[in-house]
Amino acid sequence: MGTSEQQQQNEPPLSAKDFKIYNRAAEQMEYYHGLLRLSWNMLWEASNSGRLPPYMKTRQFIAEGLRFAQHLEIHHSIEENHVFPHLAKKMPEFRTGKGRQAAELLRQHRQIHKGLEEFQKYLEACQEGKEELEFDVLRGKMDGWREVLWTHLDQEVKTLGAENMRRYWTKEEMPRIPM
């Protein structure tokens, strides 16, 4: 058993009120991640079934894919420029660095964006009429970064969970965390 696990076992359980205070960041992150998951799932289901959702035309589907890419880019930009630097003051899970020195969550961002860039380029080419939308091609553009995206969405929320946050922050500091 690691030192942090022993430390957590020695800490008294959080009251419901304190849990809510410490879990606020995880709940907010889960909300945004839930929206990203909904969009991803719609795109992934279509790419696997080879059919558009019944309520969409091709141009709407492509636009939704590009909106997903834009939302994910904006979400990660906000995290990297505002949220993570604040968290990194006390939490090694959010520290920046080059290559393997960067925290795992930031390395995941980089992996996601490599795949996201190809996904976005393909959909832009489809939107501009340079390519015709092919679901098997779209699935290929999504498959390479699907696992890291889902791992990241779950891991980030878990890292912001009450039990982990209480290790680094006081209740008084929690409302000052930019979320």
Q: Check residue 166 and give its pLDDT.
A: 96
Q: Check residue 179 and give its pLDDT.
A: 83
* Distance between CA atoms of residues 124 and 128, nearest Å: 6
* Distance between CA atoms of residues 98 and 143, nearest Å: 26
Query: Which pTM value belongs to this model?
Result: 0.88
* Distance between CA atoms of residues 160 and 156, nearest Å: 6
* Distance between CA atoms of residues 80 and 106, nearest Å: 8
One pLDDT digit (tens) per residue for the chain, 179 residues:
444 443 455 778 999 999 999 999 999 999 999 999 999 999 999 999 999 999 999 999 999 999 999 999 999 999 999 999 999 999 999 987 666 666 889 899 999 999 999 999 999 999 999 999 999 999 999 999 999 999 999 999 999 999 999 999 999 999 999 98
